[in-house]
Amino acid sequence: MSLAQWSITVLWIGLTLYALLAGADFGGGFWDLFAGTSRGGRPQRELIEHSIGPIWEANHVWLIFVIVLLWTAFPTVFAAVMSTLYIPLTLAALGIIVRGAAFAFRKASDELGLQRLFGAAFALSSVLTPFFLGTVAGGIASGRVPLGLAAGDLLTSWWNPTSVLGGTLAVGTAAYLATTYLCADAVREGRHELAEAFRRRALVTGIVLGAVALGGIVVLHTDAPRLFDGLTHRALPLVIASAVAGVASLLLVLRRRYLLVRVTAALAVTTVLWGWALAQYPYLLPPAATAGVTIAAGAANPAVLSATLIALGVGAALLIPSLLWLFLLFQRRDRVPSTP
């Protein structure tokens, strides 16, 4: 593999981790929004807050990683994406701010009115942010972002059938991932009635998500023929794997095998993301009205790519053990009965 290919691979790993980890966080906010009245929904909200709390900060870093790596390794593509998709990205950035701040504030405030206000801001931005990020993915995948500064249409580049599909899938995936985590957390805490509630939601979301994905095939066929072509040819094995993993996780939810569901649900998301990458390979910005940009053509200077990759490698050697310690500490915490 070339340095440029290594770079995009590492970037895509970061994107996958962001989708899986932060995706579940966004989904937590989604269910917070639909948890009902402040009294009735309290146990659910507490569970959500409890599952998100400790590791939220760490999950969030993946997005920054993706952005920084994109501008370092593929600067012209970064500039094209950011300038053309200025509107949804600004909205997503604002959503991230509101979400993070509101979550921290809600945790720190002890008055019901304030908690409700911050809670609503947290929940709403948790739904809107993944939606806008999904529209960005749709705009790129359907070839609506040409090279150059704000060279694409500022509105239709992200408000089009593929983008709306992308946004909907992003929200749905986040919600679904969250239910699988929440079910397992609820069982571990011995809150079986909560686990059952989230199990029902997991089933409904899973079925809806599957239906949207199927319908999406029709949308892509007309709106993004190149992407459709890639998905049904080169990336077909991954698409099938995703469908299989999706069905398998529904069956596992039915049988209440929550820990295994995490694996299959994660697999379903991962295969979709890598399927997309494979479908538009070797393009970063796929051609449509204008010539696209390939990975090789968009790549930065090799000296930059190698320095960055080496730095990331050294960083990973520091990060992985620390991250493991963090996760171990929290898993252990849940097994020890909480000491007063």
Partner 1 sequence: MLPLNGYLMLTGCVSHRIAPAGTSPIDLLAAREQMAISLGWHIILACLGVGMPALTLFAEWRAVRTGEQAYRLLAHRWAKAMGVLFAVGAVSGTILSFEMGLLWPGMMSRYGQVIGLPFALEGIAFFIEAIFLGIYLYAWDRLPPRQHLLSGIPIVVAGVCSAFFVVTANAWMNQPRGFDLTNGTVTAVDPWAAMFNPATPPETIHMILAAFMVTGFVIASVYAVALLRGRRDRYHRLGFLIPFTAAAIITPVQIAAGDYAARFLATNQPTKLAAIEGVYHTGSHIPLTVTGIPVGDQLRYGLEIPDGLSLLVGYSPSTVILGLDRVPAPDRPPVGVVHLSFDVMVGIGFAFLLLGIWLGLSWWQRRDLPRSRWFLRAAGVTGIAACCALEAGWVTTEVGRQPWIVWGQMRTADAVNPAPGLVVGLVAVLAVYVVMTIGTVSVLRRMARSHRLVAATPDAGAGGDR
Q: Which residues form the interface with partner 1 (CB under 8 A)?
A: 53-58, 60-61, 63-65, 67-69, 71-73, 75-76, 78-84, 86, 89-90, 92-94, 96-105, 108-111, 118, 149-150, 154, 300-301, 303-304, 307-308, 311-312, 315, 318-319, 322-323, 325-326, 329-330, 332-333, 339
- 326 binds ligand HEM per the rule CB under 6 A: no
* Phi, psi (deg, nearest 5) at residue 284: -90, -45
Cβ nearer to partner 1, comparing 56 with 276: 56
- Token pair 């929940």 is found at 123
Could you give the CA distance from residue 296 to residue 76 in angstroms, rounded to a whole number?
A: 12
Cβ nearer to ligand HEM, comparing 4 with 91: 91
**How many C-beta neighbours within 10 Å does residue 248 have?**
17
Could you give the CA distance from residue 281 to residue 267 in angstroms, rounded to a whole number?
A: 21
- 64 binds ligand HEM per the rule CB under 6 A: yes
Could you give the CA distance from residue 9 to residue 105 in angstroms, rounded to a whole number?
A: 37
Q: Contact with ligand HEM (CB under 6 A): which of 5, 13, 46, 60?
A: 60
Compute the least distance from the CB of residue 209 to partner 1, in Å.
27
- Token pair in block for residue 186: 């609820």
Cβ nearer to partner 1, comparing 26 with 65: 65
Query: Residues 268, 242: contact at Cβ < 8 Å?
Result: yes
What's the angle, vertex CA 121, arms to CA 117 and CA 122, rounded to 5? 115
- 61 binds ligand HEM per the rule CB under 6 A: yes
Compute the least distance from the CB of residue 138 to partner 1, in Å.
18
- 259 binds ligand HEM per the rule CB under 6 A: no
Which residues are registered as beta bridge partners of 285?
293
Interface positions with ligand HEM (CB under 6 A): 60-61, 64
